[in-house]
């Protein structure tokens, strides 16, 4: 047992810190730390900065332009980045489609797509879920019918995150209805500008446009955009999920939000004293802090095992997803609770940079208040997306417990 | 970063597993719990032969100089085997305190004896009104010509009936700091009672009526006893967390096996999703508890007292809750078999429940953590 970081890892942490201090733009940092609406430009600009520094994709192998970091290095980078207010790199391109491309795509596909991901040139989104295929993903019905050098795609994808900005979408489509449902699925890359692709916003409970329905009406996709073999898409999809779920405990974010919760609770007053000194509220904070302490170590245990065995992390990542989502939800809930009646005002403009509250509101409604209730609502998604927590428990029961 | 036990630790683990399998089965254990002493002197001697008793003691006193992770390996197996011998109190807690704070002459007199299974120690610290507060002590220490005279009452002293000597906390006058004294069991004026605990071990109350000890009985400095005492109890709590972890792991294993074999409605009950998800939650609780036990073991030996206090309080509070969940769920998923004496499940459950009541419960350590945690 040795819980220490190596001197090299500590040096890396220092290097990351210095990089963040020098390179993270102040306006992006402020947006992140105040929990404001994140703009497309925030994400893209940050990716370009990382790319210029050679850190566009920390965990990618160097032969694809990645930094070749170990899981521990990535953990350090995530933790420092979150603390400093760097936006998280979106997973769809870097952690989802890219590993699939590296493993199953043709050299031509790799040469075209990977550098554009790395540099922040292309924005990718995911086309998995459908109205009738959620947890039971294999029942998807979006069809791709071969017509010469093209597939003709028809159907609907839903719960698509940030597709309104996307240049490309990776889709699971049905190319065959024979055999088991899993056997007729293919993995297709579709240019969002192709005629017949339309994006319809789904407004979420916090009033924000984060997710979409995507419709495909006779969309002609070159056969060259098929990844791997036709009807083998389910294999690639499962491979993708393994990579997606690695490192998804979100420890860095949780730590930042815990610190923010304490700051908020120290600033709010209850019974004439700081709320943080209220025994009941203090216990609530402590409980989630303990869960996070444990999860940080559990996360490192899982990652270091994966690193040692040079394998993607196993089904234990379901544990990380369950607990990580529960913790971030709880933190958001307590942040809202800490506001007292200041949780009530719905100040949409408060999510934008440069907002100034009206003179009366500003007397009691702090600058950090506007996003908190909305984020509590919004974060209910975390136990639903990326495989609901119930699906994760099914995975644990089957893959780990053998039930 | 490496979260594996090393080869020596794995060897110790395997040795203990074999010992439990061969010599300390559930039937033998039940007989021992019902016996007069409540534990096995033969097993105690075997522990000495296996190097268990010497394990965490300093090398200059016949010890092996092991650390908190070595103790963790042992305590996980103490949990799995529901071992009744006073390992935690004698070796981890009291010998640890002696090694940390006692004068060299006392260390030389006691520690090799402990390593050789010739001496058992118990901690007489808590009092009827103290609950879990080590500092709340009414027992008095009065200076005499030969040394000290101790008077007071110590409640629920773990493994008191078998102890050859006690470490007693007392203070000169109200407002003074604590002092620690070694009191032999044979001292005049010392009365020790004996009762079984809910988990089958033994404890007793210790009454001191003008018990005289020499000046050389002092452990540490006059009035400076609280810091080493608190540290020793923290080391013991980290070990207790590992014991709880061992039990949780054993309970999860037993429950999982039961879910796979018990049939109702024509299928193994593990086919039911309601039970699968509860079992998944138990698995998560065990893994998170393991991480907490690792944190406690890692920080308990460090020089930073605040970090130690914080980590140990966090682990005890967290594991208290995880243990309650796993214990209660294991009983529930075993159905009627969970509430009978003849299955080990109920004995694991009772031991877990008593660990929660030992050295501070979840509420106590939540408060202690909040006090120790840097804000924000």
User: Tell me, what CATH number does A263's domain have?
Assistant: 1.20.140.10
Based on the fold, state whether residues A217 and A253 are members of the same structural domain. Answer: no
**Confidence class of residue A327 from pLDDT cuts 50, 70 and 90?**
very high
How many folded domains does chain A comprise?
Answer: 3
Q: Are B203 and B156 spatial neighbours (Cβ–Cβ below 8 Å)?
A: yes
- Determine which helix (DSSP H) or strand (DSSP E) holds A18, and give its type and residue range: helix A7-23
Tokens 């306006």 — which residue?
A27
Structure tokens at B95: 């010998």
> What's the mean pLDDT in B8-14?
97
Tell whether A101 is covered by a domain. no
CB-CB neighbors (< 8 A) of A293 in chain B: 291-292, 295, 314, 318
Helices (H), ranges, B51-128: 68-81, 87, 95-101, 104-115
**For residue range B305-324, what is the model confidence (pLDDT) as tens digits?**
999 999 999 999 999 999 99
Q: pLDDT tens, A279-303?
A: 999 999 999 999 999 999 999 999 8
CATH of the domain at A47: 1.10.540.10
Residue A99 within any structural domain of the chain: no
| Least confident interval from A235-249, B28-42, B342-356 | A235-249
By Cβ distance, the residue of A72, A323, A401 closest to B1 is A72
Residues A227 and A257 in one domain: no
Q: Is the peptide bond before B6 cis (omega within 30 degrees of 0)?
A: no
Cβ–Cβ < 8 Å for A58, A67? yes
Q: With 80 as the cut, is the pLDDT of residue B221 above it?
A: yes
Given a cut of 80, whether residue B255 has pLDDT beyond it is yes
Mean pLDDT for chain B overall: 97
- Considering only CB atoms, B276 lies closest to which of A9, A316, A397, namely A397
Is residue A262 located within the same domain as residue A299? yes
**Reduced to 3 states, what is the DSSP secondary structure of residue B166?**
strand
Report which secondary-structure segment, H or E, holds B153: strand B147-158
What integer is the mean pLDDT of B16-45? 97
- Per-residue pLDDT averaged across A345-371, rounded? 91
Q: What single-letter DSSP state applies at residue B126? A: -
Is the pLDDT at A376 greater than 70? The verdict is yes
Mean pLDDT of chain A: 94
Mean pLDDT of B160-182: 96
The pLDDT, as a whole number, for residue A245 is: 66
Residues on chain B touching A314 (C-beta within 8 angstroms): none
Look up the ipTM and state it: 0.94
Residue B348 to chain A, least CA–CA distance (Å): 21
Domain annotation covers residue A393: yes
For residue B354, the tally of other CB atoms under 10 A from its CB is 14
Do A396 and A250 lie in a common domain? yes
- CATH number of the domain that residue A137 is part of: 2.40.110.10
Cβ within 8 Å, pair B288-A291:
yes
Interface touch B292/A294, C-beta < 8 Å: yes
Closest CA–CA distance from residue B376 to any residue of chain A (Å): 5
Q: Identify the CA nearest to A210 among candidates A55, A379, A22.
A: A379
Shared-domain flag, residues A254 and A190: no
DSSP 3-state of B140:
strand
- Which pLDDT value is given to residue B376? 45
pLDDT at A312 over 50: yes
pLDDT at B225 over 60: yes
pLDDT of residue B375: 52
Residues 307-346 of A with CB under 8 A from B: 316, 319, 322-323
Of A38, A67, A89, which residue constitutes the final position of a domain?
Answer: A89
How far is it, in rounded angstroms, from Cα B353 to Cα B340?
A: 16
- Identify whether the C-beta of residue A164 lies closer than 8 Å to the C-beta of residue A199: yes
Quick one: A217 and A256 in the same domain?
no
B2: nearest Cα among A21, A110, A305, A180: A305
> Touching check for A380 and chain B: CB below 8 Å?
no
Question: Which residues in A254-285 are b (16+ Cβ under 10 Å) and which e?
Answer: bbbbbebbbbbbeebeeeeebbbebeebbebb
Q: Measured between CB atoms, which of B256, B314, B376 is closest to A401?
A: B256
Domain annotation covers residue A109: no
Q: Is residue B282 a contact partner of residue B323, using CB atoms and an 8 Å limit? A: no
Chain A stretch 261-280, residues whose beta carbon is closer than 8 A to a beta carbon of chain B: 262-263, 266, 276
The structure tokens listed for A372 are: 């908190």
A236, A239, A241, A247: CA torsion to nearest 10: -150
Nearest CA in chain A to B298: A3
Q: Is residue A100 part of a domain?
A: no
Q: Is residue A213 part of a domain?
A: yes
- Residue where one domain finishes, among candidates A29, A63, A89: A89
**Cβ separation B277–A397 shorter than 8 A:** yes
pLDDT(A243) > 80: no
Amino acid A188: pLDDT: 98
Task: Compute the CA torsion angle A247, A252, A254, A257 (nearest 10 deg).
Answer: -150
CA distances from A165 to A212, A215, A220, B47 (A): 11, 15, 21, 67
pLDDT band (50, 70, 90) for residue A353: confident
Q: Which residues of A are designated catalytic?
A: 244
Cβ-Cβ contacts under 8 Å for B239 (sequence gap 6 or more): B68, B71, B72, B75, B88, B92
Put simply, the chain A residues between 127 and 186 with a CB less than 8 A from any chain B CB are none
Mean pLDDT to the nearest integer, B237-262:
98
Cα separation of B106 and B167, whole Å? 12
Best probe of the A interface among B280, B288, B323, B367, by most A CBs < 10 A, is B280
Q: Does the beta carbon of B2 lie under 8 angstroms from any beta carbon of chain A?
A: yes
Same domain, yes or no: A272 and A227: no
Nearest-by-Cβ selection for B375 from A9, A266, A298: A266
Asked, for residue A222, whether it belongs to a domain, the answer is yes
Domains in chain B (CATH in brackets) are 7-119 (1.10.540.10), 122-219 (2.40.110.10), 226-372 (1.20.140.10)
Compare CB distances from B270 to A3, A287, A403 and report the shortest one's residue. Answer: A403
Chain B residue numbers with beta carbons less than 8 Å from the beta carbon of A291 are 288, 318
- State whether A1 and B298 contact (CB < 8 Å): yes
Predicted local distance difference test score (pLDDT) of residue B372: 82
Q: What integer pLDDT is reported at residue A247 of this predicted model? A: 63
| Residues A90, A163: Cα–Cα separation, whole Å | 12
What is the reported pTM? 0.95
Whether the predicted pLDDT of A2 surpasses 60:
yes
Diameter over CA atoms, chain A:
75
CA–CA distance, A320 with B283 (Å, rounded to integer): 12
- Shared domain for A148 and A74, answered yes or no, is no
For residues A143 and A233, what is the distance between their CA atoms, to the nearest angstrom?
13
Pair A128, A83 in one domain: no
pLDDT of B321-336, one tens digit each?
999 999 999 999 999 9
Q: How confident is the model at residue A246 (pLDDT cuts 50, 70, 90)?
A: low
Structure tokens at A176: 């065959």
Which residues in chain A have Cβ-Cβ distances shorter than 8 Å to B281? 393
Least trusted range by pLDDT, from A34-38, B2-6, B79-83, B200-204 = A34-38
Q: DSSP code of B88?
A: I
A209, A251: one domain: no
Find the domain containing A34 and state its range: 7-89
Q: How confident is the model at residue B220 (pLDDT cuts 50, 70, 90)?
A: very high
Closest CA to B271 of A291, A120, A13, A402: A402
Q: Is the same domain home to A181 and A326?
A: no
Tens digit of each residue's pLDDT (9 = 90 or more) over A110-128:
999 999 999 999 999 999 9
In a domain, A273, yes or no: yes
Same domain flag for A61 and A139? no
């Amino acid at each position: 047992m040795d819980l220490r970081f190596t001197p090299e890892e500590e040096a890396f942490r220092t290097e990351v810190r210095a990089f963040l201090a020098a390179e993270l733009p102040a306006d992006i940092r402020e947006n992140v730390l105040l929990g404001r609406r994140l703009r497309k430009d925030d994400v893209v600009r940050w990716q370009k900065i990382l790319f210029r520094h050679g850190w566009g994709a920390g965990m990618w192998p160097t032969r694809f332009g990645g930094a070749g970091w170990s899981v521990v290095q990535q953990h350090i980078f995530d933790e420092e980045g979150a603390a400093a207010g760097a936006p998280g790199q979106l997973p769809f391109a870097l952690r989802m489609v890219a590993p699939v491309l590296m493993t199953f795509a043709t050299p031509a596909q790799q040469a075209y797509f990977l550098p554009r991901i790395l540099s922040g040139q292309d924005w990718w989104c995911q086309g998995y879920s459908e109205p009738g295929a959620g947890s039971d993903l294999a029942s998807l019905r979006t069809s791709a019918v071969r017509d010469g050098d093209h597939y003709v795609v028809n159907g609907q994808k839903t719960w698509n995150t940030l597709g309104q900005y996307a240049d490309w979408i990776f889709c699971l489509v049905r190319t065959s209805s024979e055999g088991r449902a899993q056997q007729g699925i293919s993995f297709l890359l579709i240019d969002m500008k192709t005629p017949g692709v339309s994006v319809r916003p789904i407004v979420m409970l916090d009033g924000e446009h984060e997710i979409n329905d995507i419709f495909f009406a006779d969309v002609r996709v070159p056969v060259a955009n098929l990844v791997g073999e036709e009807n083998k898409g389910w294999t690639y999809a499962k491979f993708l999920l393994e990579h997606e779920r690695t490192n998804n405990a979100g420890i860095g974010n949780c730590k930042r939000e815990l610190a923010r919760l304490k700051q908020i609770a120290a600033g709010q007053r209850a019974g004439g004293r700081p709320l943080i000194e209220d025994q009941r509220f203090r216990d609530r904070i402590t409980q989630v802090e303990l869960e996070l302490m444990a999860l940080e170590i559990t996360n490192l245990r899982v990652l270091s095992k994966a690193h040692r065995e040079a394998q993607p992390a196993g089904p234990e990542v379901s544990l990380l997803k369950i607990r990580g989502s529960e913790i971030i939800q709880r933190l958001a809930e307590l942040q809202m609770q800490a506001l007292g009646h200041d949780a009530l005002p719905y100040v949409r403009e408060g999510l934008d940079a440069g907002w100034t509250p009206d003179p009366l509101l500003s007397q009691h409604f702090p600058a950090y208040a506007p996003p908190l209730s909305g984020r509590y609502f919004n974060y209910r998604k975390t136990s639903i997306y990326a495989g609901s927590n119930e699906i994760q428990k099914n995975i644990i029961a089957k893959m780990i417990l053998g039930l | 970063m490496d979260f594996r036990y090393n080869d020596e630790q794995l060897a110790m683990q395997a040795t203990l597993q074999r010992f439990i399998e061969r010599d300390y089965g559930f039937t033998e254990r039940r007989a021992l719990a019902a016996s007069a002493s409540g534990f096995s002197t033969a097993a105690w001697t075997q522990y000495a032969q296996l190097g268990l008793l010497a394990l965490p003691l300093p090398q200059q006193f016949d010890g092996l100089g092991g650390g908190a992770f070595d103790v963790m390996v042992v305590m996980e197996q103490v949990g799995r085997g529901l071992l009744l011998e006073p390992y935690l109190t004698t070796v981890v807690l009291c010998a640890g305190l002696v090694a940390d704070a006692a004068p060299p002459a006392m260390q030389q007199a006691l520690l090799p004896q402990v390593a050789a299974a010739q001496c058992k120690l118990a901690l007489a610290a808590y009092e009827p009104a103290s609950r879990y507060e080590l500092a709340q002590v009414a027992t008095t220490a009065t200076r005499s010509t030969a040394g000290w005279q101790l008077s007071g009452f110590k409640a629920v002293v773990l493994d008191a009936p078998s102890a050859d000597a006690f470490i007693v906390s007392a203070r000169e006058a109200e407002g003074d700091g604590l002092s620690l004294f070694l009191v032999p069991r044979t001292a005049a004026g010392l009365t020790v009672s004996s009762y079984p605990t809910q988990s089958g071990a033994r404890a007793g109350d210790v009454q001191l009526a003008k018990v005289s000890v020499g000046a050389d009985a002092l452990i540490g400095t006059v009035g400076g006893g609280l810091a080493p005492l608190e540290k020793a109890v923290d080391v013991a709590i980290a070990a207790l967390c590992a014991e709880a972890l061992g039990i949780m792991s054993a309970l999860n294993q037993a429950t999982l096996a039961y879910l796979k074999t018990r049939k109702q409605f024509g299928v193994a009950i593990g086919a039911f999703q309601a039970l699968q998800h509860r079992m998944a939650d138990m698995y998560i609780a065990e893994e998170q508890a393991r991480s907490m036990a690792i944190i406690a073991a890692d920080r308990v030996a460090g020089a930073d007292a605040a970090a130690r206090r914080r980590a140990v309080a966090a682990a005890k509070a967290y594991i208290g809750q995880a243990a309650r969940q796993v214990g209660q769920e294991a009983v529930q998923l075993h159905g009627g078999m969970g509430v009978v004496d003849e299955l080990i499940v109920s004995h694991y459950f009772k031991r877990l429940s008593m660990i929660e009541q030992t050295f501070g419960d979840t509420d106590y350590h939540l408060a202690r953590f909040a006090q120790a945690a840097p804000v924000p």
